[in-house]
Amino acid sequence: MLLDPFDKIVANLPYGDGFKFVDHILEMDEEHVIGVYRFRENEYFYRHHFVNNPITPGVILIECMAQIGLACLGSHLLQDSKETVQFVFTENHIVFNNLVKPGTAVVVSAKKEYFRFGKLKCLVQMVDENEQKIAEGWVSGMILKQES
């Protein structure tokens, strides 16, 4: 079975199944990306984060936004590169508006603010499946060249 280019990017992200927060890319071009992730009820962090009333940790929500906004978009922007590279998260500023409970699907949209000198900065927004805003702000990262 052939993967579409977006599915190939998701499949090649440098994260294991327990730390990959991208299920599918809905759309992507040189300027933006929109991706989806459903926070499954059996995620490891729910066992210990607000026991008996679990919510998704903010750091995990930021990671989800960075994986879609930086890793996926950055991989797309570098798809013609001959070198093996990956994006590493460097900084962010995120404002949270709502919580994410287990079982919730989120949609992350990221718009490229700049991509130059090996650095990518994106404006990001996360909404839930009811289009309720969860968080917004910006994330940035830089290219890390992998050694052969």
Q: What is the pLDDT of residue 64?
A: 98
How would you label 59-71 residue by residue, b for 16+ Cβ within 10 Å and e otherwise? Answer: ebbbbbbbbbbbb
Q: What is the pLDDT of residue 3?
A: 61
Q: What is the pLDDT of residue 148?
A: 52
Q: What is the pLDDT of residue 124?
A: 98
Q: What is the pLDDT of residue 57?
A: 97
Stretches where the chain sits below pLDDT 70 are: 1-3, 82-85, 145-148
Q: Which residue type sits at 95?
A: V
> Which phi and psi (to 5°) does residue 108 adopt?
-110, 125
Q: What is the pLDDT of residue 72?
A: 93
Q: Which residues are catalytic?
A: 49
> Domains in the chain, ordered, with CATH?
5-145 (3.10.129.10)
pTM (2 d.p.): 0.92
- Taking alpha carbons only, the member of 37, 135, 129, 58 closest to residue 95 is 135
Rounded distance, CA 9 to CA 86, Å? 11
- Taking alpha carbons only, the member of 80, 87, 79, 78 closest to residue 22 is 87
